[in-house]
Amino acid sequence: MALIVQKFGGTSVGTIERIQQVADKVKKFRENGDDIVVVVSAMSGETNRLIDLAKQASDGNPEPRELDMMVSTGEQVTIALLAMALINRGVPAVSYTGNQVRILTDSAFNKARILQIDDEKIRADLNAGRVVVVAGFQGVDEQGNITTLGRGGSDTTGVALAAALKADECQIYTDVDGVYTTDPRVVAQARRLEKITFEEMLEMASLGSKVLQIRSVEFAGKYNVPLRVLHSFQEGLGTLITLDDEESMEQPIISGIAFNRDEAKLTIRGVPDTPGVAFKILGPVSGANIEVDMIVQNVSHDNTTDFTFTVHRNDYQKALDVLKQTAEAIGAREVSGDTNIAKVSIVGVGMRSHAGVASRMFEALAKENINIQMISTSEIKISVVIEEKYLELAVRALHTAFELDAPARQGE
């Protein structure tokens, strides 16, 4: 008998029919003798509907505490409906809000972080043979205020409950059947990965892969909770996300290719090359609450430097305005920008034990006449900035170069 925490997102419980399908799936696991805790999101579109209502009532600026009070009701509907559907199938079930389970969080409304979970009530119900259905995305602070965990919070709830209960597995059900080597819409030969490490999944998530929320992967890695990504309504083994081990070190050098179109590049030229110049440039950018991604600095012969960095495309104009003010203040020659760029990254723990990965990547791009504008590396990742129009060509070329294409790996 295993203890499994299952999380179903908004599309998986978007209609009564789908909630009935989820109940059927949960019943099968229960019949196999497993103890089941189910975490659900609000029905698809419901949270956005509630936020819109809140904005209408408050001239577009709802008070954070009251907004959490309101949007948390979306999950309360879903947990009750799923519990009803299970009971109707002869499966004893009980539903709880985050407050009732006592998912204790800090008081950062709209983006709270989980501090502690009281698992006593859940364990008592599991021992009594019940399926426990818990509202995702929400908790309660020390003062008894309802809080929500921010975007993707139901994934985090699922992982946190699995950690607290020491569950055998946390299963995240979604609209894809696992984690792929890259986006199948870009590369038709993309393969579903049977297994990937927490480290690799964190990199993939931070670099643009949207299968899992970064916070939930961080939480799972910290508490060593085996995570499995599965399709809500298709059978299959999905993808297991787990700790690195010797077996995974024997897997291919590269596990996946991530990409991000939402990048913009800014360059400040002719900056006096003096100590502290990087802070003078990036300090005001950070002060404007703009996150910087990749950075390249070049020193020229006339004791000036050119400084280039990337930001999210939504922050481009704001960052450009800040940089122009900085250029005037420090006596730089000019400022320029480019929004027609994209970032492509290769990710894999196998890089640690294989030389020549970077040159192989650069060779594949050179064969397609794709110019690399910026390069960033870490122990298990290499990212490059290229012109956006070459993005899909680059991803396909790299997918083939690192032997990730499905036909090339059949029969192994």
Tell me the pLDDT band of 246, cut-offs 50, 70 and 90.
Answer: low
284: pLDDT strictly greater than 90: yes
Helix (H) or strand (E) holding 200: helix 198-206
Tell me: is residue 10 an annotated ligand-binding position: yes
213: pLDDT strictly greater than 80: no
For residues 186-201, give the mean pLDDT: 90
Is 280 in contact with 323 (CB distance < 8 Å)?
Answer: no
Nearest to 183 by CA among 395, 406, 3, 343: 395
Is 137 in contact with 99 (CB distance < 8 Å)?
Answer: no
Region for residue 289 given its phi and psi (left: phi exceeds 0; alpha: psi -120 to 50; beta: otherwise)? left
Tell me: is residue 210 an annotated ligand-binding position: yes
Q: Options 3.20.20.140, 3.30.70.370, 3.40.1160.10, 3.30.300.130; which CATH number does 3-175 get?
A: 3.40.1160.10
Tell me: is residue 185 an annotated ligand-binding position: yes
For residues 187-197, give the mean pLDDT: 91
Percent of the chain whose predicted confidence (pLDDT) is above 90: 71
CA angle 27, 32, 37 (to 5 degrees): 55
Question: In whole angstroms, what is the distance from residue 243 CA to residue 200 CA?
Answer: 10
Nearest to 13 by CA among 70, 89, 71, 80: 80
Tell me: is residue 200 an annotated ligand-binding position: no
Tell me the pLDDT band of 298, cut-offs 50, 70 and 90.
Answer: confident
Question: In whole angstroms, what is the distance from residue 203 CA to residue 200 CA?
Answer: 5
* pTM confidence score: 0.82
C-beta neighbour count of 203 within 10 angstroms: 27
Tell me: is residue 9 an annotated ligand-binding position: yes
134: pLDDT strictly greater than 90: yes
pLDDT at 52: 94
Tell me: is residue 129 an annotated ligand-binding position: no
For residues 102-124, give the mean pLDDT: 94
Question: In whole angstroms, what is the distance from residue 368 CA to residue 397 CA?
Answer: 8
pLDDT at 252: 66
pLDDT at 245: 56
Judged by average pLDDT, the poorest of 88-97, 205-214, 266-275 is 205-214
Question: 35 forms bridges with which residues in the sheet?
Answer: 3
Query: Strand ranges (DSSP E) for 212-287?
Result: 227-231, 239-242, 256-272
Task: Pull the structure tokens for residue 409.
Answer: 């790996």
How many angstroms separate the Cα of 399 from the Cα of each of 72, 94, 192, 341, 404? 42, 46, 13, 20, 5
- Please write the tens of the pLDDT for every residue from 316-360: 999 999 999 999 999 899 999 999 999 999 999 888 878 889 999
Percent helix, strand, coil in the chain (nearest 5)?
A: 40, 30, 35
Tell me: is residue 71 an annotated ligand-binding position: no
Break the chain into its structural domains and give their ranges.
3-175
Is 36 in contact with 30 (CB distance < 8 Å)?
Answer: yes
Tell me: is residue 27 an annotated ligand-binding position: no
Question: In whole angstroms, what is the distance from residue 146 CA to residue 75 CA?
Answer: 13
172: pLDDT strictly greater than 60: yes
pLDDT at 249: 46
For residues 163-167, give the mean pLDDT: 94
Nearest to 38 by CA among 77, 88, 4: 4
